[in-house]
Amino acid sequence: MMRWALLVLWLFSCTASADGPTPASLLVQLQQRHGFPGATLAWAGPGGQGEALAIGMADPERHIAMTPGSHMLAASIGKSFVAAAIVSAAGQGQLDLDAPLSDYLGEQHWYTHLPNHGQLTLRHLLNHTAGLPDHVYQPAFTTLFARTQDQAEPVPTAQQLVALILDGPALFAVGDDWAYSDTGYLLAAMALEAATQKPWTAHVRERFLEPLALNDTGPSSERRIPGLAVGMTAADNAFGLPARTAGPDGALLWHPGIEGAGGGLFSAAPDLARWGRALWSGETLGKDGTRQLLDGVPVQAGDAARLYGLGVLIEQGGPFGDVHGHRGWIPGYVSSLRYYPQYGVAIAIQVNTDVGMMGQEGALVQIETALTQAILEKAVPLPASSP
């Protein structure tokens, strides 16, 4: 069981130490600099050590303060759970990462309309080398997303979302390049479900959420998610959402179920930090499963320092050594989960706005950099043989 120090921060309550800013004081500075409504921060280290902090408001209009346990949509960090579930199932002989995808989905009437359908495997889908377009960038997706704002409309199914890329050209031949694709994760989850006759969400719950007691994590499959911080987005966002993405009662004004296995989980920062450490330290999947996850391919040709494994971005040679992690974005929310194997520490950050947050020049990268420095600058690296 983690030993968490829970602290809710108010703007006037934190000061820097004589030796430099603390994570708590930095959160205050970062909020003042970037103007986000609220944020949570948690880290988990060796020996069950951890801490969780929160600042600002989960709902400014209703004057609800952010707490370390506030829920937010984790978005594409969910890919780490989906990939881990598939690797776990493969380790139990329920499916094969390198078998033709047609072994699992070939009987679907639409399968041969997939780009590159004859060469696809689960590994290609999970490491984004399948050459598939991403359905979320198809014009028709914007229409489907807009329809989720109507409570009378059913949530699009995974097959309806995959249909957005059928009969279109592949981006490249399988394995020849890298292109991020949520569609690939929808297909991978569909293959897991076909092989096991069990929903992907059940695999995640039974294999990870329950054994690790990640009680603040679950599928974002309903508009009303208990404890959800209200997300704020730009007034001119591409999906036509209001700047406040939830109604007066805190329920989302759109249906998050449209994300599906592309990342459809809510979580809280303490859960994410514990998950990142458990997963990428090898605790959860063991040596072979972790090796599978971390067997990465270049994100960009000629750049051996940035690789993507199975549901994980691997950045090598940083100021604190290698980093294993994932970010998540969805209207109104951004999340970051990064594990530093040299220190055995996972750091999770969630913010309830996406305004100005994304991209290499966005605020999230600046927030990550500042908080990581404050947390790890005095940390002692693990012995070489430690997880």
DSSP assignments along 77-90, one per residue? GHHHHHHHHHHHHH
Please give the CATH number for the structural domain made up of 70-317+325-338: 3.40.710.10
Q: Which residues, in sequence order, are CB contacts of 358 under 8 Å at separation 6+? A: 329, 334, 364
For 298-304, what is the mean pLDDT? 91
For 160-189, what is the mean pLDDT? 98
What is the pLDDT confidence band of residue 301, given thresholds at 50, 70 and 90? Answer: confident
What pLDDT score was predicted for residue 10? Answer: 31
What pLDDT score was predicted for residue 12? Answer: 27
What pLDDT score was predicted for residue 386? Answer: 56
Q: What is the pLDDT of residues 1-50, one digit of tens each?
A: 333 333 333 332 333 344 678 999 999 999 999 999 999 999 999 988 88
What pLDDT score was predicted for residue 349? Answer: 98
For 217-227, what is the mean pLDDT? 96
CA 368, distance to chain mean position in Å, is 15
Tell me if 18 sits within 8 A of 38, measured CB to CB. Answer: no
217 has pLDDT over 50: yes
Between 304 and 74, the higher pLDDT residue = 74
pTM of the model: 0.94
What is the pLDDT confidence band of residue 385, given thresholds at 50, 70 and 90? Answer: low
One-letter identity of residue 40: T
Tell me if 182 sits within 8 A of 136, measured CB to CB. Answer: yes
- State the burial class of residue 10 (Cβ atoms within 10 Å of its Cβ: 0-12, 13-18, 19+): exposed
Q: Where are the domains of the chain?
A: 70-317+325-338
List Cα–Cα distances, 313 to 226, 282, 323, in angstroms.
Answer: 30, 16, 8
What pLDDT score was predicted for residue 13? Answer: 31
For 160-188, what is the mean pLDDT? 98
What gap in Å lies between CA 187 and CA 185, rounded to an integer? 5
What pLDDT score was predicted for residue 67? Answer: 98
The two three-digit tokens of residue 80, written as one number: 């780490």
